[in-house]
Every structure is written in C-alpha cells, then in structure tokens.
A and B are shown apart, each in its own frame.
Chain A
Amino acid sequence: MKKTISLIFAIALLTSCGRNKMEEPLAIGPDEFHASIKKVTEIMIHDIFSPPVASRVFAYPNIAAYEIVAVNNDDYLSLSGQVHGLSPIPQPDSTKAINYQAAALVAHLELSKKLIFSENKLESFRDSLYQKWSTSNPETFEASKEYGLKVAKHIGDWMNKDNYNQTRTMPKFTVDTYEPGRWQPTPPAYMDGIEPHWDKIRPFVIDSANQFRPQPHPTFSLEKDSPFYKELKEVYDISNEITQKGDTSEEVKIAQFWDCNPYVSVTRGHLMFATKKISPGAHWIGIAQVASRKANLDFDTTVYALTKTSMAIADAFISCWAEKYRSNLIRPETLINQHIDEDWLPVLQTPPFPEYTSGHSVVSGAAAIALTDIFGDNFAFDDDVEVPYGLPIRSFNSFNEAAQEAALSRIYGGIHYRSAIEVGIKQGRDLGTYHLNKLKMTKAKELASN
C-alpha cells in the first residue's frame, strides 16, 4: 500500500517537473496518420461493417483531417462548396499555438470513434497519443485538441444529415416475388440483402446515385444460346476449370486475394460463426497507404491522397448500390444450383446483395483513377494489405492493373458474371474521372506526381 502511494507521488513530481521544462514542438509525421487509419480498419473488422457502410466510415474522418490541413497549407483547397452540403469549417483561434497536424489527427480520431462501435479500442490508442503530446507540449496539445474537436463537431453535424440514420428504419429488401432472375438470399446464411437503401445516402461529389447508371445487364434468360445464359455457363465452366487446377492455381490465388468479404459465414455443428476480413474499400485505402509510404509523402499530402481516394470509393458504393437494387439480379450460385448443378459451390462465398454491377469492380475502377491522378500511371507497388489476414503479397505495375485483376477475381470466385465486372469497372472509372474534373483540391496539380 505504501509503495503505491509513493509511486503515485513520484509520478506527480515528474509531471510537475515536466511543466517547468522547455516545451517541445509536437513532432507529427505521416506515420501517425497511417497508424490511426490502421487502428480504425482493425476495429471495423471486429465490429463488422458491410462494404458500403465501411466506405462511409473512412470518408468522413479523412475529410475532417483534410479540411484542417487545407486551413493551414495553402497548397490545398477546402472541400466546402465542392462536396454536397459542406460549409466552411470554423476558423482557428489565431492567438493560440495550434499544431494543425495534431488537430487533424484529433478530428480524425474523434469522428472515427463516432462511426465505429468498439470505442474503447480506439480510445486506448488515442489516449496514448494524447499522453505523448500533452507530456511534450501541453499548451499546443490543448489548443490543437480544442480546434480538432471543434472541426470534428462541424463535420459530424454535416455527416448526420446524410440520411444514414433514416435508412436504418427503411424496409428490408423483400423477396416476395419469385420471378425468375430476381435476387434471392444465398447459402449458407441466407442473409437479407444488405443496404437496399444505400442509394438514398447523400453522395459527396456526384449529382445523385443515378448519375453513372450503367447499361443494363444482358436480359435474363435460361435459353442456352442467350447472352445471359452464356455468361452464367462461363462462371460455372471457369469455376470447374480452376477448381480442378487446385488451390495453388493463379486464378484461385487471385480470387482469394481480392475476396475482401467482411463477413464469411462458417457452419460447424451448432455453431454458425463468421470469419472476418477487410472490405473492398478498406483494401483500396490500404493500397493508398502503401503508395503514400512508397512515395514518402509528408503528412499533409498523405491526408490529401487518402481523402481523395476515400471519397471516390464512397461515391462508387452509392452508385453501384443504386444499380444493384435497381436491377436486383440473381447470383450465379442460385441459378447454377437450380438449373445446372445442385451441389456446386463458388470458390468464394457469395456476398448478401444483388449481383449487378460488381461492387469490387466499380470501387476498384474509381479508386484506381484517383490514385493514378495522385501518384501517376506506371506506379509499381507491392500490395501487402492483406498480409495480416493470411494472404500473400502481390505486386502490380499500376493501379489500373490492380483494378483489372480485382474485377476479374470476381469471376474466378464464382460470384459475378462477366458483364458485372466489365460494365462495373467502366462505371467506376467514369465516376472517378468525374471526381477528378469536378473536384479542385490542389493549387499545383503536379504537386505529388514525383
């Protein structure tokens, strides 16, 4: 007992000693920002967010950080007036010594905390950062924190008007008709279609969820010579071919590498549990981090790169989901089990929403456009994003090459027809290009292109 008291006393002494020392400037680099995103990604895997919702969790905290960067760094332009509904963030108190990078991180963590569920996991991460900063320079820390929280509140209020809460109580997706070709829940968990009202979420840059409405999928038909049936048969044939080749084949490796299904159900006896991975959006956020590190981007440029990418991804999900529940197309697994082979299993588990267009394709297309704009084409990188989830490293010569492979992986996985990936990647690229033309984030365009 005595020992503890004296220890506490000693700590108090040390702290008060610190106060008398010279205050150090807060040293904050891109690593802190990367660590923050990594932490949020980990928590998202634990809490299970569906891919569209995950894209929202990335976008808003990034924007909060970016807006603070833009206040301080003349190279960057505020997004207010450029993205729907965002008004200028509060101006900083010029009398105070604010570290803008610290403020950006505070805002990022604060908004992330709002969006995830397991807050305590993020709080312990945040508290260790705060502890460090308040020790080295309490005055700057307090001022930066105050500003960061103020901006987080501003961005949070804007975020709360994006219709997310309203969509929680909207009707589930009903499969009350059994017209052939209409999406049905898929094995093994037969989950409800997720986020049927994601088209009602306020987009960031695009005019509406319907702006990049893709061409319709081939007309549903089970006639053997119809284009639709041929695509269905192609999924089945490719799947059989690569299953025969085995788990070590390049195609199976590609399918598994890009699986990015945050919730794969596994059934064992009375257990029905899930294995968890990151979502497609998180994978591309990871690629953006890989590229930022490789290009040795500083803090501000890193925030810019991730913000730009995350907005493209978020809008891509809104656009893609609008089409999914517009076309309500049935998954290959359902049709193959009904009409071709009752015992067929896709290489990947079919995710619980309609087929057309492929979410991974749209998102990969949009993200690759954003990243190519930031880092240039022919930017080679080693994608080690999925290493923590037991997958290998794959190397790519460009973002577009990675996006093409991600799209193709869905056919190998047996969860999409060819049209969904080809039209999907175009949908994403068109949307990404629109973002480039519409958004003005930098004064000097060639800023970061090496």
Chain B
Amino acid sequence: MTYRKGILALLAIILVSCSKKNEELAEKRPTLYFKSIPAELSGLNFTNTLSPKNDLNIIEYLYYYNGGGVALGDINNDGLDDIYLTANQSPDKLFLNLGNLRFKDITATAGIAIDSTWSSGATMEDVNNDGLLDIYVSKVGNYKGLKAHNLLYLNKGNETFEEVSEQVGLDFSGFSTQAAFMDYDNDGDMDMYLMNCSIHTPRSYGKAHKRKEKDSLAGDRFYENKLNEGVLSFENVTHTSGIYSSALGYGLALVAADINQDGLLDIYVGNDFHENDYLYINQGDKTFKEMGAAWLNHTTRFTMGADIGDMNNDGLQDIFTLDMMPFDHEVFMKSGGEDSDKVSQIKSDFGFGKQYARNNFQLNTGEASFSDIAPMTNTHATDWSWSVLIEDYDNDGLNDLYITNGIYKRPNDLDYINYLSNTDFSNYSQSQAYEIEKKLIQQMPTLKLSNILFKNKGNLDFERLTTDAGLVPSFSNGAAYSDLDLDGDLDLVVNNINENVFLLENETQGHNFMVVDLADSLQSTTGAKVRVHSGTKVLAKELTVTRGFQSASSRKLHFGLGAMTKIDSVQIIWPDGSVQTEKDLLANSFKTITKKTGLPQYTYTPAIKPKSYTKFEYTHIENKYFDYERESLIPEKLSVEGPASIRADFNGDGLQDIFIGGAKYQAASLFLQDENGGYQLKKTPQFAKDKIFEDVDAEVFDLENDGDLDLYVISGGNDLMEGNQNLEDRVYLNDGHGNFERLNAILPRINGGSISAGDFNADGYTDLFLGGRSIPGAYGLPPTSMILKNTSEGNFEAVMNGRYGMVTDSQWSDLNDDGLLDLVIIGDWMPITVMINKGNDRFEDQTLAYGLENTNGMWNTISIEDLDNNGHKDIIVGNAGLNLKWKASQEKPVKLYLDDYDENGQLDPLIFYDFFGHYVPFASKDNLMAQLPYLKKRFLSYTDFSKIKGIEDLTGVPEKDIALQLQIHELRSMVYFNNGTSFIGTPLPKEAQMSTIEDMLVNTDGTDKQLYFVGNYLDYVNELGVSDANPGGVLYNFNGTNFQSYRPLGLPKETSARKLIKISDGKLLVVTNNSDALVIDGL
C-alpha cells in the first residue's frame, strides 16, 4: 500500500516539475528556437515507413535503418524552395512550396515515379543549363531482391519532369547513397560524383591496397557531363579520374568544397567502417588526388554525415564529420567504444589511417592541414548521427551545427550482441531462421533521441541545445535547410523513420541577415563563392548543395549579420574564376546577383604546406614497447619519454653545442657547433656503449669544479623493473674538449622523469633535483624524487626525498625573492608543487600556502618568468590541454583509484572521469574484467555495468578504503601569476589548449613577451586518442594579463614535439619523439 502511495507521490512530483518546466520555457525561450509545423497545417504529409521483411531487415541489410533524404530547391523559379523527399519502402514525394509554409503534393502530376523501390539520397542541379533545377535520386538496386536504378528527373518546366537517366547514362544500378554535382573541369557543365556503399563480407577488413580494386556495384564513380559537346550525356570517367572505386568504401557522407582555395571544387567522401575517409583534391586536369593523409591526422571511423563550412570566420573551409559516440553515460557504457590498441595497430599495419568513433571537428589551419577540435568543443558525442548542417541558424554571424541522430534499432548494444551470440542459426531451417531473426530484431534495443543544435558562441565555444530549442526525440536521418517562408531565417526539413517529416520553422528574431541568390544566364552557379564584408568581419560561403546526409540544401546563400546593419561590399567569385563586387547592399534583404560580363579574374592563393623548417641531423627512433600489454588499464604510455636534449658549450670554444639523448638501443648524440653556426656530430664511444639506456632528461654542470661541463643523464623506460641496471642514471665526465667518459658511480635505477640543477645553498657547487616518472608496473604510484646536495667534488647527499607524484619537469627559481633558490615540481596526477628553500638544506612544501593545492594536472613542462612585470616570478605550465575526452574541474576531477582489488599482488589503477555530467570508468567492461575476473560475477550484463556511478559500485570497496587516490583538476595549459604571496591561474588562449604542450620558451626580450610552445602527444591509449591538433605555435601580444595573438610555427601536423631549444639567433631546434629533429625560425 505504501508502495503504491509512493508511486503516486512520485507521479505527482513529475507532473508538477513538467508543468513548471513548461512555464520556464515560455518565460525565457532561447534566441534559437524551432517551431514544428504539423502536417495538417503545412500539407507536408510524408513518412518514411519501414516494414521489415524476411530477407530485408537490419540483420540482413546493414543499412536498413539509414533512412531517407531531403532535397530542397526552387523547381519552378517562383522564389520559394520546393521539397523532394525520399523513402526506402514507399514512394518518394515532391512538394511544391505555396508560400507561408504551405505545401502541395505534386508527385503524380510532376511525373515522379510512384513505386516502392529503395531511394536513399536526392540532390538538385541544373544539369542541362536551361535554368531549371533537375532532380537526381540515388537508389539501392541489385541487392536482396531490390531492383532499381538511379533516376535523373529532367525539369521540363511547368512543374513537370521527365526521367532520362537511361538516355544520358546515369542509370547506375547498385548500392548508391548520394550524388554531388560539380563542374570538375570548369567547362561550364555539371559533372557528377556518385557515392556508393559496400555491404559486409565475413572478413571485417582486408589490406588497404584493396581499395585499388574496382567493384561494379559498391565502388564510387565519376561521370563527366558532355553537354558542352552539344548533347546532354554523361560519360563514366571513373578509371581516369583518379578516384577509388572499390568494395572497401562504405560511402555515406559526400560534400564538395574548395578545400585548398585554388578555384576548383574538391570532394570529401566519408566512409563507414575501417576504410579511410577520402579527401579528393581536384588537380585541374580532370583528375583527383586522394590526399586525406596529407591534410588530416585522423578521421571519424563510422563516418555517416558531413558538412563543410567556415566555423570561425577565418575565411577557411572547416570540415565536420559525424560518428556514433553516445553522450548518455549508460548508453556509452553499453556500446562498443574505440578499437583496442591491438586492433588499432593491426589496422595501421594493414594500411588504414587512424580513426575514432566520435565526431570530428576539423578546423582548417590554413597550412594545408586540419586540426580536429571536437573534444575541446564538446561536439564529439551526438550518438548515432546522420546529418550535420553547418549554418547560421540564429543570424548572429557565426555558423552553428544542426545534427540529426537516432537509429530505430540499435545493433551495437553489447548486451544485445551477447544475446545474439547465444543463438545458433545453423540449427534451424530457413523459415525458422526468419522467425528467430524477427525475434532478435524485436529484442534489439530502441532509443529515441532528440536531434541536437550546437550554438556557436564564438571563440570556439559551443552550447548544446535540444528540447530547449524546440527539438523533440525522433529517429531522424536526412535533413536540409532553406528559408522556406522568406522571413530571413533558415528553416529545416527533416526526414524521419516511421514518423512524419519535420517541418521546423525558425523563430529566431532580432538579428540582421542578408540572402544572396546567384544567377548566370549561361550556366549553373554551383561552385561560386560569396564573401560578405562588413567592417572588419568577412563572412564566406560556397555554393554547393549536397550536404549532410543523403540530402541537398538551398542554393540561396544565407548570411547572418548579428547586430551589423551595414554591408560594405559583397564579393562574388564565379565558377569560372571571374570576380564581381557589389556595393550598397542593405541588411535584411534578399538580393539576386546576376553575373556581369567583362569581369576581372580572381587571383587565388592556394593553401600549401609550410616549408618553414629544415631537418636537423638527428632522428629519434623509439623502441617498440606496448606498455598497455603489461598494464592494460593505464591511459598513457610511459615508455616513450624523451629524448633528453640540452644546449651548452661542451668543448670550451665559446660556441654552444647540443647534446641529444637516444631512445633505448640508440646512442646519444653530441653535436659541436662550428664557426659557421653549423653542427657537427662528434662520435663518442661511451655513448655508443650505453645505447641500451633510454635517455629521458639531462643536465649539465661542472661536477668536479674543473672548469668544464659534465653531463648527468637520467634513464627511463617502463619495460624494466625498478633496480634494473639498465635504468641507472649516468654521469659523463668531460675532459674539457668535449670527450666524455662515464663516471664509475652508483646512481638511482628508476624510471626517471626530470633533472634540474641549481646551487640552492649558494656554496658554489651545483646541487640537483631528481624527479621520478613512475614505478614500472604500478601506474599512478608516486616514485621517489630527491634533492641532492653537492657536498664537495662529486659527492651528493640527499637532503630531502619524497613521493611527490609522477614527475615530468622541474625548475629551480627564487619564487619568494628571499635570495634562495626554491624548487617547483610538476607531473601527472599531481599539483604544481612548490618547495620553498628555508635555508640550512631545509625545504618546505608550501603548495597550499601559495594557493596551488588544487592544481593537479597532466603537466608536462614548466617555465618560470616574470610575465606581468610585477617583480614576482610567474609560473607558465604546459598541460594535456582541453582537446581530450577527459574533462576535469575542481568539482569533477578525473579520479584514479589505486588498490589491489583482487589481492593478486598487482596494483589495479582504476580511472573514473566526468562523462557529460556522470562519472564513468575509463576502462571498458571487457578490459576491466580481463584484469579483475571477479568483476564478471558482479556485472553479468552490460546493463548492470552501465549503472556504475563510482568506485564502490564497481569494486565493492568504499572510496574511503581505497589505498591511494589521485586526481586531475586541471587539463588546461596555464599561467599562474605570482602576486607576491600566492599564485592566481589564467588559462592560455584556445589555440594553446588544442593539444598537449610538451615544451616552451618564453621570450622576455624586447617590449612584447612571446611564448613559443611545441607539443602533440601520440601515445595515449586508443580509447583516449592521440593529441594531434597543434604541434606548435607562438603566443604574442601580451597585454599584462594574457596573450592576444597567435600564429602557428609551421611544423608538420603529425609532429610529436618534446623539446624546444634555441640554437642561434633566429633559429630554434624542435626535438621530436620517434622522428626527425627540425630547425625552425624563431626568437
């Protein structure tokens, strides 16, 4: 009885809170709001209804729930965009826009086929240059009883069409997803890229070279329009065009854009599964060159939709591609995540590029490469997503993202997969098997999600909007935008599975806009570019219509102007390269701009790879060791530190020389500077003898006070246990001429992290700090670090030692201006630790006193300078950055729990992090269960596992009883300003947060302070992903509180930089891990 009462009370609460929510909504509706117009009002009656059959369902056909598309375009030139909708198992429909968001079904009278063949994508283009938009529909044919070929509906005027695909050679029958029209040879007519998809074979992946083998049903195709030779016909030029046309390509996303700004449209093809996405750069000679690897460090894995547009108003084309990473923590824990590190390695060996099963936000760097900043912008997880449309939906002058998502039946639910595993089809006859399939499909989980809007707030900040913006849960696929009611904002049409199509009226108000419709009496304007100038702002758009997923959007170019009322000029670059400028245009107007004659040619400056570096004669060659095969729960490799690099005058000739350590099995190198500023490798037999050591850091000082510089090199590596002789640090004594011999001494044998030299007691002898990186085999457990006092010639005495953390860097500096050198230590899972020198060899940990107690990060590098000229030294620290799946804050730190939960003598590091508001374990269920088999009994299903909220749920051990807990509060790279008594943190600008920062140089000479930084880190485990969005840059224009300007250093995009050393005036050396050292300009 009380039970029932409880439920009633609960219901009441829910009801109350619902109505309250509605009130609130009415009160403060956000600036971005879409109102759904019901079909009864709009006349837009259309549902993509799916009826699974025995031989055609999600088990038999993997793309059964890919849904339909939307093509918008003005087919009768009345100024209103009309709507073509595709369906999979029912007829497509064409709707005429009558104005005021009312539509009329003209499918039958227009001559559109009324049948139930499987349509996927649709697009509109004027293929015969008669000024009327034609319609191309992609079909699935030749598969599982589906019979159809693609259709070309030629617009005959008067709202009628004639299907001519066979006559003109576009009646392809296979597995088509979508087509994009573009004039690839600039001959005045529209050619066509046809994207097809593959179907699965028992082999989940073969070698990548199979992409060179043509497949007649699944391979993509390219057709050249021969209209300029007098008659409309398309020639299949796939073989000569340079595109791939194989069964490896599961093409689902297709967008054309001028990626390299050379006046020729390029093509982005997003492939599902293991095949890379293709970035075809148009070579201008009727061929394309696939250059994905040159432009992109990685791509989405299950690429489904894509769009290209300018997300930060820098005039460059950015790419957004969609994948299927869930954002609901329980769904996330029940779904398959990233490939294991092993499978990722195998795919790489097979020739496939790096791919992640989350959205990619590829920001164009302007240097012929992209930086994926999806995790930093929190746009990386939108669940099973189909269509993304980049447009300015609130007219504030910044492009937003509209994303459709949802799969009607969810086949990647791991419980479901396990359930399926217990069914053996071989036992059953065909008809029984169909029955079982039916049941299996019924068992397949269903999850209805709201589509998602990301409102662009500037400075690469995005706000996720769903129901607040009027969006409701649905299974949505194709979508397209257009200002359907001509009220100055973009409306949306969204094709749904088993639900009427959405007509979403944009109710944004208060911002200004400008709409440009391009006209050319001779040919289609696809490929034209428009730039709207207003004050210092430039808004750039390109006219291509195939976007998102299986869909095509309006040909009118829409510009949100925000508060701007004045347009200085509009520049149009026509497809033939001629440029036209229009002035005196009014805000809030619709303007048709017709191409003039006698226009000048536009001069393009194509993006090229910077050649701002030269190779230095040193290549770091990392040994192959996979830490996570021994420690399967760790987030990062600890065996790839270094190389140690240091600059000093070793031979006493007054010129600065360079020492660079080696990886394991690689000898260290000593480069002596010659009089011409060049560097000569000096062969050092002792270094060759010691090549078994991995040199991770080094320091120079005069050990014996004999007037020359000796070397202390610390050893690292995670493959050997502490105490192994191959982990021993080494001291090399200099004979004064740069000849080194190893000192016979007993030194620490640990995985070292950092060494810093400083005479802390001012006795004329250099003292040392030695920081430990890790205890091999016990990730997270802090190793011993120590301060060593140089007592006299060569004798060291440990005056302090402790377990401060997993140290990566350290620096001596007088922080409190008392004339004594203090020490700052940083590392992983530890705060910026301040050891204040109290004199008499005494140090006091004053991290708390200086307000740094909650600064635990994944710190990599430290620099101490007085940036703000207040007379106190500030701390500049490089961190892992914001572009990670992990999120960290004071309130929701990343947590590491260390204990031997199964009492087998091996520590088990368990990490939890904040996943969209909920703590989740970092390791997958499968990975956890392999190391801790007893958990298999606690969590028989993934559903059980997905309910885990913390360490106690997972292990049964209360948080307070865990042996050791570590946290990360801060992932940003920071400046901590010293006000004399404490440190106040300020994050570095966004550009410095896109990747890890591994080393820095601060230039305090001159009037402007500059911060040079290098980074990227490629050795996180695959679940966390590589940090590869920024190899290095310069922050400058310091205004006393932060840097106002940024420019990239021009390093290769895949650089994994570790050290930045000034080698001469105007030259910097970038030492990388497992790659060439590079010389760049700077300082």
Interface residues of A (CB under 8 A from B): 46-47, 117-120, 165-166, 168-174, 176-177, 185, 187-190, 192, 266-276, 342, 345, 389-390
Interface residues of B (CB under 8 A from A): 58-59, 61-63, 200, 202-207, 302, 340, 342-343, 346, 411-412, 417-418, 420-422, 424-427, 624-626, 629-630, 632, 902-906, 908, 930-933, 936-937, 940
Q: What are 29 contact pairs spanning A and B, CB under 8 A? A: A46-B422, A117-B937, A119-B937, A120-B940, A165-B902, A165-B933, A166-B904, A168-B930, A169-B908, A170-B630, A173-B629, A176-B624, A176-B626, A185-B346, A187-B204, A190-B346, A192-B342, A267-B200, A267-B203, A269-B59, A269-B61, A269-B200, A269-B411, A270-B302, A270-B412, A271-B59, A274-B421, A275-B425, A276-B424
Q: Which of B61, B421, B630, B940 has the most CB of A within 10 A?
A: B421
Q: Which chain B residues lie closer than 8 Å to A190 at the CB level?
A: 342-343, 346
Pair B62/A389 contact, Cβ less than 8 Å: no
Q: Which chain A residues lie closer than 8 Å to B63 at the CB level?
A: 269
Q: Which chain A residues lie closer than 8 Å to B205 at the CB level?
A: 187
Given contacts A166-B906, A172-B629, 18 further A-B contacts (CB under 8 A): A46-B422, A117-B940, A165-B903, A165-B933, A168-B902, A168-B930, A168-B933, A172-B630, A174-B626, A185-B346, A188-B204, A189-B204, A190-B346, A267-B203, A269-B411, A270-B302, A273-B420, A345-B203
Q: Which chain B residues lie closer than 8 Å to A275 at the CB level?
A: 421, 424-426
Supposing A117-B937, A190-B343, A390-B427 touch, asked if A271 and B904 sit within 8 A by C-beta, the answer is no
Supposing A176-B624, A176-B625, A176-B626 touch, asked if A272 and B417 sit within 8 A by C-beta, the answer is yes
Pair B417/A117 contact, Cβ less than 8 Å: no
Min C-beta distance of A343 to chain B, whole Å: 8
Supposing A174-B629, A187-B204 touch, asked if A271 and B420 sit within 8 A by C-beta, the answer is yes
Distance between Cα atoms of A187 and B350 in the complex (Å) = 12
- B58 and chain A: residue at smallest CB distance: A269
Q: Which chain B residues lie closer than 8 Å to A266 at the CB level?
A: 202
Q: Which chain B residues lie closer than 8 Å to A171 at the CB level?
A: 629-630
Pair B424/A389 contact, Cβ less than 8 Å: yes
Distance between Cα atoms of A192 and B936 in the complex (Å) = 19
Q: Which chain A residues lie closer than 8 Å to B427 at the CB level?
A: 389-390
Min C-beta distance of B794 to chain A, whole Å: 39
Nearest 8 A-B pairs (CB), nearest first? A269-B62, A169-B906, A171-B630, A172-B629, A390-B427, A165-B904, A117-B936, A176-B624
- A117 and chain B: residue at smallest CB distance: B936
Supposing A166-B904, A172-B630, A185-B346 touch, asked if A267 and B202 sit within 8 A by C-beta, the answer is yes
Q: Which chain A residues lie closer than 8 Å to B412 at the CB level?
A: 270-271
Min C-beta distance of B4 to chain A, whole Å: 13
Distance between Cα atoms of A273 and B207 in the complex (Å) = 22
Pair B202/A188 contact, Cβ less than 8 Å: yes
Distance between Cα atoms of A381 and B848 in the complex (Å) = 78
Supposing A172-B629, A176-B626, A390-B426 touch, asked if A270 and B411 sit within 8 A by C-beta, the answer is yes
- B207 and chain A: residue at smallest CB distance: A342
Distance between Cα atoms of A168 and B61 in the complex (Å) = 39
Q: Which chain B residues lie closer than 8 Å to A188 at the CB level?
A: 202-204
Distance between Cα atoms of A86 and B931 in the complex (Å) = 27
- B627 and chain A: residue at smallest CB distance: A171
Distance between Cα atoms of A347 and B59 in the complex (Å) = 23
Q: Which chain A residues lie closer than 8 Å to B421 at the CB level?
A: 273-276
| Option from A174, A268, A345 in Cβ contact (under 8 Å) with B200 | A268
| Option from B62, B203, B905, B931 in Cβ contact (under 8 Å) with A270 | B62
Distance between Cα atoms of A188 and B274 in the complex (Å) = 13
- B336 and chain A: residue at smallest CB distance: A272
Q: Which chain B residues lie closer than 8 Å to A270 at the CB level?
A: 62, 302, 411-412
Pair A118/B940 contact, Cβ less than 8 Å: yes
Pair B902/A267 contact, Cβ less than 8 Å: no
Distance between Cα atoms of A177 and B59 in the complex (Å) = 39
Min C-beta distance of B898 to chain A, whole Å: 13
Distance between Cα atoms of A275 and B204 in the complex (Å) = 16
Q: Which chain A residues lie closer than 8 Å to B200 at the CB level?
A: 267-269
Pair A267/B629 contact, Cβ less than 8 Å: no
Distance between Cα atoms of A241 and B931 in the complex (Å) = 43
Pair B342/A168 contact, Cβ less than 8 Å: no
Q: Which chain A residues lie closer than 8 Å to B940 at the CB level?
A: 117-118, 120
Min C-beta distance of A252 to chain B, whole Å: 13
- B633 and chain A: residue at smallest CB distance: A169
Pair B422/A166 contact, Cβ less than 8 Å: no
Distance between Cα atoms of A266 and B908 in the complex (Å) = 32
Distance between Cα atoms of A46 and B412 in the complex (Å) = 19
Q: Which of A166, A275, A389 has the most CB of B within 10 A?
A: A275
Distance between Cα atoms of A145 and B346 in the complex (Å) = 52
- A46 and chain B: residue at smallest CB distance: B422
Pair B422/A168 contact, Cβ less than 8 Å: no
Pair A268/B624 contact, Cβ less than 8 Å: no
Q: Which chain B residues lie closer than 8 Å to A118 at the CB level?
A: 940
Q: Which chain B residues lie closer than 8 Å to A47 at the CB level?
A: 936
Q: Which chain A residues lie closer than 8 Å to B340 at the CB level?
A: 192
